[in-house]
Chains A and B, each alone.
Chain A
Amino acid sequence: AQSVTQLDSQVPVFEEAPVELRCNYSSSVSVYLFWYVQYPNQGLQLLLKYLSGSTLVKGINGFEAEFNKSQTSFHLRKPSVHISDTAEYFCFLAGGTSYGKLTFGQGTILTVHP
């Protein structure tokens, strides 16, 4: 079985501060890892993805994530957040190419305060 754990359900932070949203995973097969963002009443938008190769992945809107195989983590970071980054963030795991191994984390609500 595979699983995705987002360690924080809510993360409050002040504008221009750095932020890290944590994601740990468990899988018995090779994985593809993604971070999606969902703004209120919207669908999900792909922020970034790890497929293979370099473990540091850069995405849109200044976000980046680091794949750490030994710690089975894929934490999302941004050095300086804006009010507009307030949204819910989902870590997503695709195990191999089987539909049966598609797993979302429970989500982290990032709230950026002025």
Chain B
Amino acid sequence: DTEVTQTPKHLVMGMTNKKSLKCEQHMGHRAMYWYKQKAKKPPELMFVYSYEKLSINESVPSRFSPECPNSSLLNLHLHALQPEDSALYLCASSQEDGSMVYGYTFGSGTRLTVV
């Protein structure tokens, strides 16, 4: 299995809703990432988990709450989002903490629309 699987592929939520994005990989990667990508822009790093511990939070608002229950699974919990949070949310993984030898493996993303 050489994939990162993200669910759901599309999500529409109201500003008062609570929802979660899920990311899964079975490649034995020990670093997992959340990126946010607005239209016609490059991905922006949000969070990094290394060995199931949060190692980087790029000053992301608290309405985004990441969770790494185990080495294969990464969640992003969403609460009280704003319309400007609408974007493509990408999950990625890499082999080791900080190692770029093999680059990232990206998921296909969750297209989030906040109404």
Chain A residues close to B by CB (< 8 Å)? 32, 34, 36, 41-46, 49, 51, 90, 92, 94, 97-100, 102, 104-107
A46 touches B109 (CB 8 A): no
Other CB < 8 Å A-B pairs besides A44-B106, A104-B42, A106-B41, 15 of them? A34-B100, A34-B103, A41-B109, A42-B108, A43-B4, A44-B92, A49-B103, A90-B43, A97-B98, A97-B100, A98-B98, A99-B48, A105-B42, A106-B42, A107-B42
Contact of B29 with A by CB under 8 A: no
Question: Could you tell me the distance in whole angstroms from the C-beta of A29 to the nearest C-beta in chain B?
Answer: 12
Number of A-B contacts (CB under 8 A): 55
* Residues in A neighbouring B107, C-beta threshold 8 A: 43
Output the least CB separation between A101 and chain B (Å).
Answer: 10
B90 touches A43 (CB 8 A): yes
Closest to A4 in B: B42
- Chain B contact-residue range equals 20 to 34
Q: Which 6 A-B pairs have the closest CB atoms?
A: A104-B42, A94-B100, A43-B106, A97-B98, A44-B106, A43-B108
User: A42-B109, A44-B106 known; A32 and B100 CB under 8 Å?
Assistant: yes
Cβ of B101 within 8 Å of any chain A Cβ, yes or no, is yes
The residues of A that contact B43 with a CB separation of less than 8 Å are 44, 90, 104
Considering only residues 9-42 of chain B, those with a C-beta below 8 Å from chain A are 40-42
Complex alpha-carbon distance, A104 and B108, angstroms: 18
Other-chain contact of A45, B40, B48, B106 (Cβ < 8 Å): B106
B111 interface neighbour in A34, A41, A104, Cβ under 8 Å: A41
A43 to B43, CA, bound (A): 10
Report whether A107 and B41 are in contact in the complex, using a CB–CB cutoff of 8 Å: yes
- Interface set, chain B 33-92, CB cutoff 8 A to A: 40-43, 45, 48, 55-56, 88, 90, 92
Chain A residues positioned under 8 Å from B98 (CB to CB): 97-99
CA A8 – CA B111 in complex, angstroms? 26
